[in-house]
Structure 1
Amino acid sequence: MKISIIIPTYNRAHIIVETLNSVSNQTIKDWECIIIDDYSTDDTDTTVGEYLSQYPDLAFRYMKNERSKGAQGARNTGVDRAQGEFVMFLDSDDLLLPFCIEERLRIVEEHKGYDYYCFTTYALMPDGSVKSKYKLCSPDSDDIERFLKFQNPWHTMGCIITKDAVNTVGYWDEKFARSQDSEFYLRLVLQKNLRGYKACHLSYDSLFRSSYSQASVSRSSVLSNAIQDTYYTYLNKVRKQLNDLGLWAKYKESYVYFSFYIYSRFLMPKGKMEDRFFNIYVDLMDEIDVPAYKKEIYRLYFKHRGSKAVMNSRILRLFFKSIPKIFILPSSREMLW
């Protein structure tokens, strides 16, 4: 059994060697590592080439795109070339602990028959400390609800997936400018015919950097129009998926949270709210009669259209913090109706 580790990279010559070292230092060699350079303009190709020449016996493969495809396109290229039974998506500044692959394959052997396996990842802070940020919770936690509430239960590299399951899910959506990870994994957990195992009892086996200032494959300079297009597509896509799967009644309140979070976190800071988005929220307000939700959307919509004062960071923070107050726990939800 082998895992194909897929690493998309863009202008990471200064840091990718640390990531490659963490792969090289695995306690077992049942892996291949496919590095997809998304048309970097720095010395990534030279840096990676020199590194790979030092380890000719290790299963590294490097290829450079002839044009930029973004992180999703690079990952899809890696999937097409993967020869392992499982694939794992690693960013070019992530780190695997030495036992990561061995422990994950041990779990697969002990719990056979699943299509994907999820593990705990911690954040590597700028001061060198580690911090828990993604929590698998209990094996019975509702992962669909958690993804809808942007409480992702695992990090991008926290999951290994059979290549067949990736084909079933439909690869990464290359049109998405943001939230690609959430979108991909939400599609994964929405697949009724795919089963996942969550290794909640294990400690963390990998680290992601909590912040960085250099360029990444996700391209922080993506135009706001592309970001708005992404979230418009996301809102409609998820609702259609829930309807098609007969899950709308069960998750419609989580979807309200999902839409509210997108509005407050991503859409409102990008400029004036377009009518196409407002129509989505009006439709939700007609179907889900939550007075607090109606009040907030209308108030912020008209303030946003009529005054730039709403862009004040303090107001944004207050609005963002109001989400858990509006969408409270089910035990006291009757207070909203």
Structure 2
Amino acid sequence: MTAVRQRIVVITAVHAPAAHHLPDAYRSLNEQQLPDGWDWQWVIQEDGETDKVSPCVPDDPRVSFEQGRRGGPGVARTIGLARADGEFVKVLDSDDMLAPGALARDLAVFSKHPSLGWTTSRVLDALPDGSTVGFDQDPSEGPIERGAVLDHWRAHDFRAQVHPATLCVRRDLLLALGGWMALPASEDTGLLLALNAVSRGWFTREVGLLYRKWPGQATSQAAHVNKDEREARMAVVEARARALTGLGWSLPVTDELAP
């Protein structure tokens, strides 16, 4: 009998201005070395219906590409979950790149600690001049207890100590939480705080992602820092996390985390 292969699903929302970065993202994914018995699926969902993205999608049977009406990256990722056929879901924005070994490290953490709901890792900003810059306040490698992300986020001007663009999540847990938040931005932060409200996570200090900085990215647009909208986004993100905590629901704990 042929052994059943296990799969990690990499999910990418893309809009037309960022489509030209997809080959770099694919290259970083194609260079990943997975444990024996594992493979990957890349789900690409266009946020919109243009003729600009499909020419940049690689011809690879492991890659699934669809389009849909515009709703933002959270909506695109969430609808892409319909095609996600694997136990774990890894986020990869269309303009970012996985660091070597990122997927294998995520899978190793889940294998060692079956009660974890999610993992994150260190990020390097990839600047236009080719240089990289790291975050100087990364936490120690290891478990992130429930509620810790919300506490840090509140105390540091709504900035989490771990980056939601590096999330790897149990698919069932992601679906139970409804996917990404229906927000014009910060939808990934909303998911991160929701995950941390109901489950423990993990931070890996080895670099897992190169986060491309370029003028066309959504976080560089003026609307992203509009005061009224930002306050509204942060309010609903926090309210969701606190509501989940108040309901007392949590991912069952089945193992002990090593320090």
Residue in structure 1 matching 2:33, options 23, 27, 43: 27
Whole-Å separation in 2 of the counterparts to 1:245 and 1:6: 27
Per-residue deviation, residues 17-46 of structure 1 (Å, max 9, x unmatched)? 111111112123621100001125462112
Whole-Å separation in 2 of the counterparts to 1:96 and 1:6: 12
Q: Which residue of the partner structure matches residue 168 of structure 1?
A: 176
- Structural mapping, 1:1-337, within 5 Å: 1-11=6-16, 12-28=18-34, 30-39=39-48, 41=50, 43-48=52-57, 51-52=58-59, 55-56=60-61, 59-65=62-68, 67-133=69-135, 135-138=137-140, 139=142, 142-148=148-154, 149=156, 150-174=158-182, 176-191=183-198, 194-199=199-204, 202-209=205-212, 211-214=213-216, 216=218, 220=221, 228=228, 231-232=231-232, 234-235=234-235, 238-239=238-239, 241-242=241-242, 245=245
For structure 2, the residue ranges without an aligned partner over 5 or more in a row are 1-5, 248-259
Normalised by the length of structure 1, the TM-score is 0.61
| DSSP 3-state at the match of 2:90 | strand
CA 1:242–1:93 in structure 2 vs 1: closer, same or farther (change >3 Å)?
A: same
| DSSP 3-state at the match of 2:161 | coil
* Same amino acid, percent of matched pairs: 24
CA 1:38–1:126 in structure 2 vs 1: closer, same or farther (change >3 Å)?
A: same
CA RMSD between the two structures: 2.9
Shift of 1:187: 1.6
What is the aligned length?
232
Whole-Å separation in 2 of the counterparts to 1:73 and 1:171: 9
Shift of 1:240: 6.9
| DSSP 3-state at the match of 2:189 | helix
Contact 2:120–2:163, Cα closer than 8 Å, also in 1: no
Per-residue deviation, residues 300-325 of structure 1 (Å, max 9, x unmatched)? xxxxxxxxxxxxxxxxxxxxxxxxxx
Q: Which stretch has the larger CA shift, 227-236 or 122-131?
A: 227-236
Q: Which letter maps to 1:171?
A: G
Contact 2:143–2:200, Cα closer than 8 Å, also in 1: no
Q: Which stretch has the larger CA shift, 85-94 or 112-121?
A: 112-121
Q: Which letter maps to 1:44?
A: V
| DSSP 3-state at the match of 2:33 | coil
Contact 1:120–1:134, Cα closer than 8 Å, also in 2: no
| DSSP 3-state at the match of 2:28 | helix
Q: Which has the higher contact order (CA 8 A, sep 6+)?
A: 2
Shift of 1:231: 3.2
Whole-Å separation in 1 of the counterparts to 2:231 and 2:26: 33
Shift of 1:223: 9.4
Q: Which letter maps to 1:85?
A: E
Normalised by the length of structure 2, the TM-score is 0.77
Shift of 1:96: 0.8
CA 1:39–1:219 in structure 2 vs 1: closer, same or farther (change >3 Å)?
A: farther
Shift of 1:241: 4.9
